[in-house]
Each structure stands twice: as C-alpha cells, then as structure tokens.
C-alpha cells in the first residue's frame, strides 16, 4: 500500500490520466485518485473532436501541438485510441462574420495551419449530405488535419501506460480533504487513506471548484450542462466534423458509423443538473435535419448529458496558485479539455518535474482573472 507519492492527481479523466503518464515517464511517483471510474465525468461524455481552428493565437498553437502528439500517440502508448483526421468543416452563416473569419484564417495560416475558405458549392464536396440552403451558409472553413479520437480508448491508453510506468490509480475513492501546512501542500485524505505528497493536481473537471474550496481557494469556473445525441449506425457517409458557431451545432460520424452531435439546449442550465431534456432533443433534431435533411430517416438511440467547466474567458486554468505552494490547477477547459490534454499534460509535467514553465502556462495562470485584461476565446460550440 502506497501512502507516499511525488504527485497526487485528483481526477481520472483525460487530463488526469495524460498528466499521470507524462509524469511517470519522467520517473515521478504518481497517484491518481478518481471518485468514480476513469473517464466517467466530462471525458466519457464528450464529442471528442480535435480542432485547431480557434480565434486566439494561443489556442491555435496549443491545438496544433496537441494534434502532433495525437498523430503519434497510438505508437507511443502502444494502444489503439481511434484517432482519425477527417477535418472540421465550420459553416459561415452571416455575411458580417466573413471579415472575422478571414482574420482568423490569416492568423491560423501564419502559424502554419493548413486551412481553406470554401465557397458554398464546395461544402458538399466535403460532406455530401449537407443542404447548404438549409444550413443558411454562405461558405465554410475547412482544416483537413482536425479530427477525432475515442475518449474512452484514449483515456485508458494513457492510464495503462502510466500504470505500467509505476502510477497507482485509486478508483471509487473520494477526496475528503487536501492537507496543507503553512501554505504548503502535504497530501490528501481520501475516504480510504491518507496519501502524502508535496504536489497535488486539481484535474477534477466540473468538480474542480469543490476541490479548490477545500483549501479556501475560490475558482471562477461555472459548470454548464450540455447534451448530446447519438444515432444508429450506418455506412460511412462523411469524415468531417460539421460545426456552426451561429447555431452552436456540431456533429460527426463516428468510427462505428453512428452520428454523434450536440447543440446548446434551448434553456441554459448552470449547476449540477444531469437530466436529459426533451426540448434539447427536438431542437437538435430540427437543426441537424435542417443541415442534413436525409438524417430525418435515421433513428436516435440515446441522449445524455455532461458538463462544460467554463471559465470567464473560455480558456483553461493551468499551473500553480500563489496562495498554496504545490497546488497545481488543470481545469476550466470550457468544452475543449479532451483535445488539449496531450499538450497540456506535457507542459504541466515539465513544470512539475523540471520546474520549467512556458509562456502558455504563464498566460493561462489563474492570476489573469485578477486583471481586467482577458482575451476571450470566441470559437466555442455545443
């Protein structure tokens, strides 16, 4: 029984498991404490898209680095993660958005991203079932290296690799308290045991707020309930993820052939309400069949909910906090935690083990909320 570690990670989602792997690779003794099962929170409920088309410079760079890691991750972890690059097709719905789109694309290209602005006619070359008129689309952007991975397989692959490198993973274990002394982390107390460690990482997703509150730290994060549907399987029709910022919709065809997608529910719900709603289901059905009328004949087989852990600027909170030495934050991904996990895990592992910070971590530190100078990520869906 281990009761001592170098790092305790709270949360067995994609970010906790990816960080455990990156730390264990650097000869660090890690314990992951998960209240339920791996990927039981937002990770296993998410759309699992991987996108590099963002409005902030920083998010584009982070996402591009993440894609590079995803591209060789199956080889590195020695397991299938269902990664494929079918591209993201982002509908442009309003003439007045065109200027912003052109600016974003110019910025994305300057960072080396392969991205095109498509005429309306070219949209159905990428996704044949789309009805450009029904979408009310005047064009689209398309990045062929955007893609998707299986959130369960990816989390398990990271967790397995971490486990084989010496990480202990405690499932169905709840954090009761975070132990500190003179403003310095000492470890955690779970409902089963005490684990001593000089570093504790808060990677509890939508529940990070409660974890931080255990040491008197107030987070600005708000949990938003999000809903998703999945259809029956069908033969492969398209490879791209289709999204629209105006309608908030996203959908793609998964490896097994089912179509999975979401849209913001008609009523915005904050707090920890998990109930799926009929109003979401009908809103999603109306919108997805407007985008792709042929889908009216396809059966929905399941809908479920999950949380976005949303920060005031829709960007994650990463790195240390001033008040407590050794308490590292890794949350607030605002709906983009899956796609950023590979690069975030590397950056945080470098910070924790090599005490090497990066400009990204400086910008994404919680201290930014004390200023009024926030750069909000605009490109958010779902």
Partner 1 sequence: MNIICRCEDINEKEIIAAIHDGCHTLDDLKRMLRLGMGPCQGRTCLLLAARILARETDQCIEDLSLQTSRPPVIPVPLGILTRDTHD
Q: How far is the CB of 97 from partner 1 (least distance, A)?
A: 19
Per CB under 8 A, the list member of 300, 351, 367, 380 interacting with partner 1 is: 300
Structure tokens, 333:
């991904």
Least distance (Å) from partner 1 to the CB of residue 231? Answer: 7
Reading across the β-sheet that carries 199-202, which strands appear in turn?
168-170, 30-33, 7-10, 199-202, 327-331, 317-320
Which one among 100, 194, 303, 357 touches partner 1, defined by CB under 8 A? Answer: 303
Residue closest to 48 by CA, chosen among 279, 340, 273: 340
Give the residue with the Cβ less far from partner 1, 45 or 209.
45
The tokens of 141 are what? 């952007």
**Tokens 């088309």, residue located:** 53
Question: Looking at 204-212, 299-307, 314-322, 366-374, which segment touches partner 1 (CB under 8 A)?
Answer: 299-307
- Show the site string, 342-381: x = touches partner 1 by CB under 8 A, - = not: ----------------------------------------
Phi, psi for residue 283 in degrees, rounded to 5: -65, -45
| Nearer CB in complex with partner 1: 64/298 | 298
Give kind and range of the element (H or E) at residue 23.
helix 14-25
Number of residues in contact with partner 1 under rule CB under 8 A: 31
224/291 with CB nearer partner 1: 291
Q: Which is nearer to partner 1, 254 or 357 (CB)?
A: 254
Alpha-carbon distance 18 to 157, whole Å?
Answer: 9
Q: Which of 35, 225, 283, 336 binds partner 1 (CB under 8 A)?
A: 283
Q: Could you tell me whether strands 49-50 and 147-148 are parallel, antiparallel, or unpaired per DSSP bridges?
A: antiparallel
Among 86, 68, 76, smallest CA distance to 157 is for 76
Site string for partner 1, 213-242 (x = CB under 8 A): ------------------xxx---------
Residue 31 β-bridge partners: 8, 168
Distances (CA, A) of 192 to 11, 195, 200, 210: 16, 10, 17, 19
Stretch that binds partner 1, among 3-11, 32-40, 75-83, 186-194 (CB under 8 A): 32-40
In the complex, the smallest distance separating the C-beta of residue 293 from partner 1, rounded to whole angstroms, is: 9
CB 76 within 8 A of CB 346: no
From 4, 37, 184, 210, residue interacting with partner 1 (rule: CB under 8 A): 37
Cβ of residue 286: shortest distance to partner 1, in angstroms?
Answer: 4
From the list 65-73, 212-220, 278-286, 313-321, the region that binds partner 1 by CB under 8 A is 278-286
Selected from 282, 322, 323, 362, the binder of partner 1 by CB under 8 A is 282
Q: Quick one: 1 exposed, middle or buried, by C-beta within 10 A (0-12, 13-18, 19+)? A: exposed
Q: 177 has which bridge partners?
A: 189
Q: At closest approach, how far in Å is the CB of 232 from partner 1?
A: 5
Which CB, 137 or 334, lies closer to partner 1? 137
162 binds partner 1 (CB under 8 A): no
Residue 229, sorted as left (phi over 0), alpha (psi -120 to 50) or beta, turns out to be beta
Minimum separation from the CB atom of position 161 to partner 1 (A): 15
**Of 295, 318, 345, 361, the one binding partner 1 by CB under 8 A:** 295
Instruction: For residue 39, state whether it binds partner 1 (rule: CB under 8 A).
Output: yes
CB of 175 to partner 1, least distance (A): 21
Instruction: Give dist(CA 347, CA 44) in Å, integer.
Output: 23
Question: What is the Cα–Cα distance from 161 to 177, expressed in whole angstroms?
Answer: 28
* Using rule CB under 8 A, residue 296 touches partner 1: yes
Q: Max alpha carbon distance in the chain (Å)?
A: 64
3-state secondary structure of 11: coil
Strands 116-118 and 250-253: unpaired
Query: Within positions 97 to 136, which residues make up the interface with partner 1, using CB under 8 A?
Result: none
Which residues would be at the binding site for partner 1 (CB under 8 A)? 37-40, 44, 152, 156, 231-233, 256, 276, 278, 281-283, 285-289, 295-304
């Amino acid at each position: 029984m281990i009761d001592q570690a170098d790092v305790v990670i709270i949360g067995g989602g994609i970010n906790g498991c990816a960080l455990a792997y990156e730390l264990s690779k650097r000869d660090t003794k890690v314990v992951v404490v998960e209240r339920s099962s791996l990927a039981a929170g937002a990770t296993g409920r998410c759309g699992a898209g991987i996108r590099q088309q963002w409005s902030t410079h920083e998010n584009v760079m982070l996402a591009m680095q993440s894609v590079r890691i995803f591209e060789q991750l199956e080889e590195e972890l020695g397991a299938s993660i269902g990664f494929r690059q079918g591209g993201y097709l982002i509908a442009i719905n309003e003439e007045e958005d065109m200027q912003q789109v052109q600016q974003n694309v110019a910025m994305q290209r300057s960072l080396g991203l392969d991205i095109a602005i498509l005429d309306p006619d070219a949209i159905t070359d990428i996704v044949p079932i789309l009805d450009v008129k029904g979408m009310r689309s005047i064009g689209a952007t398309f990045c062929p290296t955007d893609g998707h991975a299986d959130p369960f397989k990816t989390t398990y692959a990271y967790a397995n690799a971490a486990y084989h490198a010496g990480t202990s993973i405690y499932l169905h274990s709840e954090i009761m308290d975070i132990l500190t002394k003179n403003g310095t982390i000492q470890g955690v107390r779970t409902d089963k045991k005490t684990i001593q460690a000089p570093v504790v990482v808060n990677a509890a997703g939508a529940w990070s707020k409660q974890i931080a509150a255990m040491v008197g730290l107030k987070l600005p994060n708000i949990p938003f309930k999000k809903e998703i549907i999945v259809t029956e399987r069908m033969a492969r029709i398209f490879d791209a993820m289709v999204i629209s910022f105006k309608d908030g919709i996203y959908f793609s065809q998964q490896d097994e052939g089912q179509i999975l997608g979401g849209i913001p529910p008609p009523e915005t719900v904050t707090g920890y309400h998990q109930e799926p709603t009929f109003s979401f289901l009908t809103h999603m059905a109306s919108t997805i069949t407007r985008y792709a009328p042929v889908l009216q004949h396809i059966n929905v087989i399941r809908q479920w909910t999950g949380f976005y852990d949303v920060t005031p600027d829709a960007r994650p909170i990463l790195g240390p906090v001033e008040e407590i030495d050794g308490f590292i934050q890794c949350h607030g991904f605002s709906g983009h935690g899956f796609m950023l996990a590979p690069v975030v895990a590397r950056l945080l592992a470098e910070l924790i083990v090599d005490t090497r910070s990066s400009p990204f971590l400086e910008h994404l530190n919680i201290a930014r909320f004390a200023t009024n100078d926030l750069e909000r990520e605009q490109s958010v869906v779902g």
